Amino acid sequence: MSTRSPAFIAAVLAAVVGASLLASDDYPHAFPRKGAKKLFENESVAIWHVEWPIGVAQAFHRHRYDMAGVYFRFGRIKVTRPDGTVNPPREAPYDIPRLLFQPKDVTHKEEGVGAPGDPAQEAVMTDLKGYSPVYGPPPAGVPLAFPRDGAKSEIDNERVHFWDYTWKPNTPGTMHFHDKDYVEVFVDGGTIRTKMASGKEETHTYKREDVRFVPGNRTDSEEATSGTPRAIIVELKPRS
């Protein structure tokens, strides 16, 4: 009967354990975690308010969904990958709001760094969970919600289209058709009155970092009745 050395047995066990971990998809999803608060969720999206507390090292995690981010505050963070390589903290602040599209399966851990009292990075992150339909066609003579006058196109790819839009005060918008679902992340607050094609009206007040999910397949117009609300609007493109 042949025998195997302890070193050989240990190597085989390590290989088996490693393969098992890979097969079981061992890393948890990025959220929930310390510093993250869920703002909204349905079958399409989960929206999180996220801070990176200074000196708090998060566990390794895998982003299981594509993600759309809007950063509201710069903070220095260190990013470490599972292989041990590190992205050092960025030193130069970025412009606010900063927009991000991150594809799924990014795996890392993050830590806010700095001295006590330094700002912690802050963002609103949207997990793009499920199928996003396209509705339509629009009613005859009714334009699509986007593009529209005053909406600045930002990131545009096969999954999302970011628009930067400010509602003009006391200026009724044109009736338009939402052919996709949208996530709105407010950069500046204000009050918006929405009028549906049926004649029904709704008025809501939003503040900085508020979010709303706007379902598609509806026709409406909007008017800022107080302030000059501004939002980053994430148009959700179809995905099976």
Range of the domain at 164: 151-236
pLDDT at 7 over 60: no
Per-residue model confidence (pLDDT) at position 103:
96
Domain count, the chain: 2
pLDDT at 52 over 70: yes
pLDDT at 8 over 90: no
Identify whether 8 is part of a domain: no
Q: What's 211's domain CATH number?
A: 2.60.120.10
Same domain as 106, residue 44: yes
Same domain as 155, residue 91: no
> Mean per-residue pLDDT for 42-57?
95
Confidence of residue 132 (pLDDT cuts 50, 70, 90): confident
E strand or H helix at 19: helix 6-23
Same domain as 45, residue 121: yes
Look at residue 185 and give its three-state secondary structure: strand
Entry pTM: 0.87
Domain boundary among 96, 128, 160: 128
Question: Which are the contacts of 35, defined by CB distance < 8 A and separation ≥ 6?
Answer: 50, 51, 52, 53, 56, 120
Q: Residues 202, 207, 213, 216: is their CA dihedral positive or negative? A: positive
Per-residue model confidence (pLDDT) at position 202:
96
Residue 65 has which token pair? 């969904």
pLDDT at 16 over 50: no
Residues making up the chain, counted from first to last: 240
Could you give the CA distance from residue 43 to residue 192 in angstroms, rounded to a whole number? 26
Identify whether 38 is part of a domain: yes
Per cent of the chain over pLDDT 70 is 89
- Average confidence score pLDDT of the chain: 90
Could you give the CA distance from residue 44 to residue 117 in angstroms, rounded to a whole number? 37
Per cent of the chain over pLDDT 90 is 82
Identify whether 15 is part of a domain: no
Per-residue model confidence (pLDDT) at position 25:
53
What are the tens digits of pLDDT across the range 201-224?
Answer: 999 999 999 999 999 999 999 999
